Structure 1
Amino acid sequence: MGKSQKKKAMRRHNPVRVPDSHLPKGLASASQQSSKSNEILPIIQKMESPDVSERKWACVAVSNIIQNDPSTRRLLQGKNVVGALITRLTDSEEEVVIEAVGALRNLCVDGGYDICAEMYNKNILAPLKSFIPKMSTTLTQYLETPKVPDSVQRIVYDFSDNVITILWCLSETSNKALNAINDIQLVPFLMSFLAACNKLSLAPVTAAAQCLYVLTDDNWPAITDVRSDAGYLACLLSIARREQPVPAPDSQPDPRAITLAVLSAGILRNILPIPPPSAASFVEIDKDVILPLLQPVISAISLSEISNEVQELVQRQNSEPQLEKMTLHTPKSGHKTEIELQLENLEGKLRTVQLSLEILTGACATLPDPTPDLPKDQEDPEGDDDLDIDAQVDIEMDATEETTQNIVESPSFLTTLVAPLLALTQPTALSFPPLASQSVHPPSTSALSSVHISALECLNNIFLSLTTTPNPSVAADVNAGLTVWNGVWTALGLVGTQTGPGQEKRQEFWEVAVGVLWGVGGVWKGSLVSNAEQIDLLIQFNNSTFNPRQKTQCIGALECLAQTPTAIDANRKISEHLLSLLPVASISASLDTEPMIQAVSALIDIYSDETLPYDINFRQGNYLERLVNSVEAVRKVVKAIDRRTGGGRELRRRGEEVRENLIGFIKYRRDLQL
């Protein structure tokens, strides 16, 4: 049962606005999809114009023309818009540089990894690196001078926001890009914005926090830089605890202040353990910072209300006359209507919830990963180093056990944490794109579906922790188990089983949900009664997926359902399915090795107690002889596991254990003579 980890593809506060992986490849198809094909060439031509106003207009036009329009963006990419904009970063006119940075930032946000990789390969870091000293100097001037020119404020706010956003998007692109960004040593620059958060607009400060959150995720250079400065740690802790007041327009609370606190908490968690003598080293980050901050964030939002509000705003937007956003002489890259600002605000709330779920998922991922494979020159082919490996796992378990207890030690955690998470899994009318058309507001649809999946991943880790570190009071609350079980199935019913281009998120929802079902089944094993339709859907999913991990989870969930004492018919259907997956002497296994091992283990566990009512299926179905016929084939499959491959060592050890258990189980059942 694998734990869920944080997903780098979901880090951006404005992620890929319109997922376009389902669109046909090639410029010809993009040209057919785009309604703005005729506008592409003038933009590219004016990018090289000797007239400053035309160059500026062209940069602004890129930002405006690609909004929620992946086909037009692809057409621009085909005309080397990235290279043209990077050239403009060294333009002699500052206004052109500022607009070019803004356009590149929007391309990063809309285009995702591919376009970020193109920017890196075209050496965007060289001009970006040269901007950092200037921005640092301007920030210092801004903080020291009560009144500064508008141009200075624009550099501190808009320009810094855009440059930092590009840097954080690039840092997620590849290890090469990340290493190059590490060489720039951004941490002092980024922390200067966080340290001045009560004097600055929240836009650049939040961008700096986002960038630092990404840089400190499993990236030792940035982690070391943050850990080594007690001032940085104190600043982050203060923001995470919301001890620092932040300015807000018109004295109204800015929702980005919550995002900033969440990001600061996430950075602190990324750099754990915090070394003394910092005051933060004496704080239990998960218990005293993460949970108190994030539980209210995930509990206070209603996805159905946001979905309804988005649809109403879009309807109003479509009924109002649309004003031309750009003209040759007065480009306005920052102009947004009131409705656009409201939609952006709603999307921001969703992304803050998603970010909170991502951090909670990490806090709930309290189990060590499977035993790492040793290098070939250190591997003992006889397995004599098992004791050393076990000791390593024990150390990791000890280090994470406290977090597990923090999350599940309270009897009320099912209502304070699990209940709001379950609510966040329930789809709305806007959560997934329609089968035959695009969503009425793709950014909100992207955010909603990501929230659902992130909530499932958090639930997966919670119940994985509970199956490994059981809590008797939780297991005794059967009604709570049924509530979670039925809640997940209700969500699956709303998601549906539709597949195809553009429906990748529906498939991902199912993939994560099956893991949750396995975890819930493990906590309340023997107490959950499932209906025939649910069992059929799990079997259907198991037969249709090609992912061994998902097959293993499916088998695990079915195993739990088969152990409900009174569910004799369900037990028979599940057991027949599991037996059909096993190899026999003349027929190869229909499964990959890991799910096959899980199927063998499941059958042993299901029928380990011959006194249970459903054991009649074992005797009447002649299951014993069917297991006997699979022993030799199972042995061959296990023996064929290559310990030198990734995860092969642990899988081989588990396979050997299950094979021995199978032989012992057969002997036990034969001795019963039932």
Structure 2
Amino acid sequence: MGKSKAKRFRSAPFSPAGPQRAASGEGPAGEDGDGGSSAAELLEKLQHPSADVREFACASISKMLQQKHAIPAFLQRDVVRCLGPMLLDQSLAVRETAAGALRNLSACGGFEVCDDMVTKDIMTPLVALLKECSAGLEANEVSPMKCKDTKKNCVEDIANEAVNVLWNVCECNGTAVSVFNKEGCLDVVLQYLKKFSTNVDLALSVAHCLQTVTEDNPDLLSSFNASAHQVLESIMLSQDNTMEHILLRTLLAGSVWNIKDTIPSSSQASTINAILKIFSESLVVDAGETVIHMKEAETQRLKLTAEAETEENVGDTIDNSVLNEDDEMEEPPKGKVKRENDISDLLPSDKWELKQVTALLMAQQTALEIIVNMCCSEDPSDDEWEELSSSDESDLFMENSYDEGGGQPMSPLCLSAEVHAALMNNLIPKKILEKTAFPNSVAVDICTHSPSWKPLIRKMNTVQCRALTCLHSILLVSDVDCLGGASTLQSLAQHLSQLVFSQPEFPTHTEFLEAVTSAMRALLQTMASKNISQCMTPEQLMTLCEAGIHSGNISVRVNVVSILGIAGSVLAKIEDTAETLKMIGKFLLEVAMKDSSLVVAGEALDALFDVFADGTEAEKAAVQIKLLPALKEFQPVFKIRMRKEGKGQYSTDQLCVLDNVKMNLRRFIAYQETLGGKKTT
């Protein structure tokens, strides 16, 4: 969850302005018939001598490529090799619409299509276009080139679409990243980034691309000289507080974290603190209140606009009474821009407020994801750590003696002093905790009743899930005292329980369940290691586990059986808990024997080892549920399952863990036989 690279494509594809007929839906782009013939006809028009026709064809292709079902017809007709030369067309409008079409192809087609684009050598014309745009930016400083019928800067618009294509193909293709390194694309995109104060859309596209290409790319590090660092630093220190600029600084802070090895050791601490200061500024903004405020602002703006247009229409009616019908078809007066001709990177221009909230939520999600990676840096990934930890605990506990009460739960990962200090100085744990709450109900209600704002509900839920995942990582790497001591952890346990149990219906959303159970697991492990009393009742515990074990997500099932093992091992040391331990033991036995995943079955066995490791109550419960004969009967079944299912279905790390579980099962059975005086001589 933490270290795995999150693949993200631009969610809002390019919407071409193009000639007016393209926007109207006339011609091939508006046909509902044979998609193949439409594709063939449009691709043929790319060779037309008229730039307007070529632009129309690119714009129409771009519109069609926003629909996934239309993509195969274009791929079969080699759309990449047809559109590639259009990136260097003599017409700037053709270049922009061609780049937009390729952006939509890469965004809507997914990873396989991006791979195919690189195989078809889209990088050659794309890199050439990017370099030409970079040179064009310098020329524009003297004489800006404006797009036809708009006030927009053509070179910057073309560059924006091209950078989005670059970002998408580099996201999933190593060859594209290699070309980025080899062709010196870093210097090119940094040139675009300098436009952040006047063209934030272009800067954001570059920032997204940089975050992608700097991740796990040691070959690029040598390209980050003092000048490159200076560009990034100047933007990170900028004071513009629009939501888009907050997102821009957050993305660039993530890129700087990726290239931290290029920063002198003497500056490491200050740089890490600067990164987390930016994340803190992103997280401190209340997204729910921002939604409410921005929606009110949008309503007021649209009301004023409607009133102004009504007054203007009255005036136009009087003025137009003396015009003939042909005059009425001419261009609108200067200062009025046709909305259907607007090209916006994320959202139409009449959705400014929505664009701001969207940028804020993306900034918060990005900040939380990077903090997770900072906590997991140079350590096993989240899932690997979870799988390895439980087995390591059992092995340690077996090799010592059962009479000593077993091994300690998961010990904290190593966190550098610089990162730890910056986390605490910027109050990051507190801000993460605030983001784990459910989204503001008023904001959710507002979004529910507005179709264009409704997608924000999912984005707010995603931020909550990322915050829970981040909380999980913070718990693993922080000392209890740094987190606020026992009372803070107990309050946190109550908070997490409330997240799960306060809703009318038990939550079934997989991403939320995985995130909240991961956080609960880490918290209970931390509390158990410090002998801090747990707050979940046995009834809540079983409700959580019985619901979670039916999830189709393996991580959720692993988490709930681990939670049960941790809680059970604590209860085993308390008097009069045999009945609860019996309930826990029966549940874990059933999971071990019946779960379709060997990983979950192995985790359930590990949990059993922890629960019944020691204590009078545990011994009593083990006898009553006939734990020993059940495990002896199950042992050969588990071996057979490992032999049959292990190869091909599970990773080397998972098989290593399962081998340890198998060994620990043999040891645990021997231990239980000793307790019952049944060990043979």
* Residue of 350, 367, 375 corresponding to 2:361: 350
CA distance in 2, matches of 1:109, 1:494: 36
Q: Measure how far apart 1:279 and its partner are.
A: 5.9
* Residue of 529, 541, 548 corresponding to 2:536: 529
Q: Which amino acid aligns with 1:334?
A: I
Deviations 1:581-632 (A, max 9, x none): 345xxxxx745443333222212222334255x7653343233443454456
Q: Retained in 2: the 8 A contact 1:52–1:96?
A: yes
Equivalent in the alignment of 1:302: 287
Q: Retained in 2: the 8 A contact 1:631–1:662?
A: no
Q: Retained in 2: the 8 A contact 1:364–1:407?
A: no
Distance of aligned partners of 1:397 and 1:103 in 2 relative to their CA distance in 1, 3 Å threshold: same
Q: Measure how far apart 1:369 and its partner are.
A: 1.0
SS in 2 for 1:150: coil
* Residue of 87, 90, 95 corresponding to 1:89: 87
Equivalent residue runs for 1:106-185 within 5 Å:
106-143=104-141, 145=142, 148-150=144-146, 154-185=153-184
CA distance in 2, matches of 1:177, 1:558: 46
Query: Normalization by structure 2: what TM-score?
Result: 0.72
Q: Retained in 2: the 8 A contact 1:521–1:561?
A: yes
Q: Measure how far apart 1:56 and its partner are.
A: 1.9
Q: Retained in 2: the 8 A contact 1:354–1:454?
A: yes
| 1:518 and 2:533 matched | no
Q: Retained in 2: the 8 A contact 1:171–1:214?
A: yes
Equivalent in the alignment of 1:618: 622
* Residue of 577, 585, 593 corresponding to 1:575: 585
Across the aligned residues of Structure 1 and Structure 2, the Cα RMSD in angstroms comes to 4.9
Equivalent residue runs for 1:50-89 within 5 Å:
50-63=49-62, 84-89=82-87
Deviations 1:129-168 (A, max 9, x none): 211332232233345x4x5443698244211111111101
CA distance in 2, matches of 1:157, 1:204: 7
Deviations 1:48-88 (A, max 9, x none): 54432232233334555666x65667777677665553343
Q: Measure how far apart 1:419 and its partner are.
A: 2.0
* Residue of 366, 370, 382 corresponding to 1:359: 370
Answer 1 or 2: higher relative contact order, Cα 8 Å, separation at least 6.
1
SS in 1 for 2:475: helix
CA distance in 1, matches of 2:77, 2:464: 37
* Residue of 205, 208, 212 corresponding to 1:207: 205
Equivalent in the alignment of 1:257: 245
| 1:602 and 2:607 matched | yes
Q: Measure how far apart 1:169 and its partner are.
A: 0.8
| 1:422 and 2:407 matched | no
Segment of structure 1 superposing worse, 93-102 or 441-450: 441-450
CA distance in 1, matches of 2:491, 2:373: 24
Structure of higher CA gyration radius: 2
Equivalent residue runs for 1:555-566 within 5 Å:
555-562=561-568, 563-564=570-571, 565=574
| 1:219 and 2:217 matched | yes
Q: Measure how far apart 1:556 and its partner are.
A: 0.7
Q: Measure how far apart 1:422 and its partner are.
A: 0.8
Segment of structure 1 superposing worse, 639-648 or 507-516: 639-648
Q: Retained in 1: the 8 A contact 2:500–2:506?
A: no
Distance of aligned partners of 1:342 and 1:76 in 2 relative to their CA distance in 1, 3 Å threshold: farther
SS in 2 for 1:161: helix
Distance of aligned partners of 1:73 and 1:183 in 2 relative to their CA distance in 1, 3 Å threshold: same
CA distance in 2, matches of 1:307, 1:573: 47
CA distance in 2, matches of 1:495, 1:339: 39
Q: Measure how far apart 1:102 and its partner are.
A: 2.6
Q: Retained in 2: the 8 A contact 1:530–1:561?
A: no
Q: Measure how far apart 1:551 and its partner are.
A: 3.1
Equivalent in the alignment of 2:269: 283
Gaps of 5+ in 1: 19-33, 247-252, 373-395, 498-505, 584-588
Q: Retained in 2: the 8 A contact 1:358–1:458?
A: yes
Distance of aligned partners of 1:418 and 1:574 in 2 relative to their CA distance in 1, 3 Å threshold: farther
Equivalent in the alignment of 1:662: 668
Q: Which amino acid aligns with 1:150?
A: K
CA distance in 2, matches of 1:593, 1:315: 58
Q: Retained in 1: the 8 A contact 2:365–2:462?
A: yes
Q: Retained in 2: the 8 A contact 1:101–1:163?
A: yes
Distance of aligned partners of 1:190 and 1:367 in 2 relative to their CA distance in 1, 3 Å threshold: closer
Q: Retained in 1: the 8 A contact 2:48–2:54?
A: yes
Q: Which amino acid aligns with 1:51?
A: S
Q: Retained in 2: the 8 A contact 1:46–1:54?
A: yes
Equivalent in the alignment of 1:102: 100
Q: Retained in 2: the 8 A contact 1:559–1:606?
A: yes
Equivalent in the alignment of 1:230: 226
Equivalent residue runs for 1:412-451 within 5 Å:
414=429, 416-423=430-437, 444=456, 447-451=459-463
Q: Measure how far apart 1:348 and its partner are.
A: 1.9
SS in 1 for 2:90: coil
Q: Retained in 1: the 8 A contact 2:465–2:515?
A: yes
CA distance in 2, matches of 1:662, 1:39: 67
Deviations 1:524-577 (A, max 9, x none): 345132464663453343245363x44322211222343445776554333211
Distance of aligned partners of 1:6 and 1:645 in 2 relative to their CA distance in 1, 3 Å threshold: closer
* Residue of 370, 390, 415 corresponding to 1:400: 415
CA distance in 2, matches of 1:477, 1:591: 38
Q: Which amino acid aligns with 1:454?
A: R
CA distance in 1, matches of 2:483, 2:251: 34
Q: Retained in 1: the 8 A contact 2:130–2:163?
A: no
Q: Retained in 1: the 8 A contact 2:476–2:522?
A: yes
Q: Which amino acid aligns with 2:471?
A: L
Distance of aligned partners of 1:73 and 1:312 in 2 relative to their CA distance in 1, 3 Å threshold: farther
Q: Which amino acid aligns with 1:453?
A: C
SS in 1 for 2:260: coil
CA distance in 1, matches of 2:59, 2:577: 65
Q: Retained in 2: the 8 A contact 1:408–1:471?
A: no
CA distance in 2, matches of 1:121, 1:311: 48
CA distance in 2, matches of 1:39, 1:591: 45
CA distance in 2, matches of 1:556, 1:161: 47
Segment of structure 1 superposing worse, 446-455 or 122-131: 446-455
Query: Normalization by structure 1: what TM-score?
Result: 0.72
Q: Retained in 1: the 8 A contact 2:605–2:661?
A: no
Number of corresponding residues: 593
CA distance in 1, matches of 2:302, 2:433: 35
CA distance in 1, matches of 2:163, 2:278: 26
Q: Which amino acid aligns with 2:185?
A: L
- What is the identity percentage for the equivalent residue pairs of Structure 1 and Structure 2? 17
* Residue of 468, 488, 501 corresponding to 1:456: 468
